[in-house]
Amino acid sequence: MSGRVHTSFGQASTATGRLSSSNPNLMNIPIRTELGQRIRRAFKAGRPDHVMVSADYSQIELRIAAHLSGDPMLLGAFAAGQDIHTATAAAVFKIALEAVTPDQRRLAKVANFGSIYGQGEYGLSQQLGITGDVAREFLGQYWSTYARLREYLDDVRRKAREEGFVVSATGRRRAIPDLRSPNFQLRGAAERMAINFPMQSLAADIIKIAMVRLHREIEADQIEGRMLLQVHDELLFEVPRPELDQFAEKVPRIMTGAYELETGIEVEMKVGPNWADMKKLAVVRA
């Protein structure tokens, strides 16, 4: 007995290529609630003089959406190092970046993530508690701003309808039979799956590439720190304090170099005694 919690990872149990976790599911531990923080605080470095290190891909699916679509507004915001949600709000409301309010940024954030999941007016209004008219007006301006992104997503939807499947940038194919269903609800859900698949699948492959390269380099360097867990776009490590600087260089270098995106890739590093109480170590862009 190791005295540690061990999960089982599924390599081929999701259609997008994402890993799954079971017995127990360590990918589904809440983060924003008080209970979630208490649970995460229980996950701590298991050896003396060790710390937990988190490395998280920042907005990777939105970066992939910008890369695949070639949308000039999205690419420009990422290239300028702007907060993408603030930049979206400023563009949609036609105001300066510094004039964007927290409510406007929140609206833009929900729309940004919703766009790549096929969310429409109703979903936006329900999630934010706004009227359908407000959601409709905002999305009209949103798609005017990101016209190339909309064209790309429409092309993905159209091609998926014609062929009955979607193919990722790395060649993963997902068949979606309900794309031709006579039931409009099933067909709508299938179209949303098709729209999101290119982003989710490439994000899954990018982090897997990084994990393999990290594992090989850690073994080759014969260092003590090790990878513990993957949670969506985050990797968690247990690292001896003397190796912290080495990991702070190695991990983001390998993660940002796993795949070349037009937007570049950004990794946020955090360190702490446990999974909840972590402080920012660095933000690395490449």
Query: Which tens digit of pLDDT belongs to each residue from 49-63?
Result: 999 999 999 999 999
CA dist 237 to 9, 211, 278, Å?
A: 16, 11, 12
Interval 17-38 mean pLDDT: 88
Evaluate if residue 140 carries a pLDDT over 70.
yes
| Per-residue confidence band for 1, with pLDDT thresholds at 50, 70 and 90 | low
User: CA distances (Å), 186 to each of 57, 166, 245, in order?
Assistant: 32, 17, 50
The band of 286, judged by pLDDT with boundaries at 50, 70 and 90, is confident
Task: Give 210-235 pLDDT, tens digit per residue.
Answer: 999 999 999 999 999 999 999 999 99
Give the residue from 20, 34, 8, 26 showing the smallest Cα distance to 276: 34
Say if residue 247's pLDDT is above 70: yes
pLDDT in the model for residue 92? 93
Rounded to the nearest 10 degrees, what angle do helices 72-79 and 84-93 cross at?
Answer: 130
For residue 2, pLDDT over 80 is answered with no
According to the model, what pLDDT value does residue 199 have? 95
The residue-averaged pLDDT of 259-263 equals: 96
User: Which pLDDT value is given to residue 283?
Assistant: 86
**pLDDT confidence tier of residue 14, bands split at 50, 70 and 90:** confident
Strands 234-240 and 266-272: unpaired
Q: What is the pLDDT of residue 119?
A: 87
Q: Given pLDDT bands bounded at 50, 70 and 90, which one contains residue 104?
A: very high
Contact 29, 39 (CB under 8 A): yes
| Confidence tier at 118 by pLDDT (50, 70, 90) | confident
* 91, 147 Cβ separation under 8 angstroms: no
Q: Look at residue 130 in the predicted model and tell me its pLDDT.
A: 86
- More confident site: 97 or 281: 97
pLDDT of residue 32: 82
Report the distance separating Cα 233 and Cα 189, nearest Å. Answer: 24
Give the pLDDT band (50/70/90) at residue 245: very high
- For residues 140-148, give the mean pLDDT: 95
Q: What pLDDT score does 204 carry?
A: 96
284 or 95, higher pLDDT: 95
* pLDDT mean over 139-154: 95
Q: What is the percent of the chain where pLDDT is above 90? A: 75
* Distance in angstroms (rounded) separating the CA atoms of residues 128 and 135: 9
Cβ atoms 237, 228 nearer than 8 A: yes
How many residues does the structure list for the chain?
286
Q: Domains along the chain?
A: 70-197 (1.10.150.20)
Q: Residue 267's pLDDT is what?
A: 97
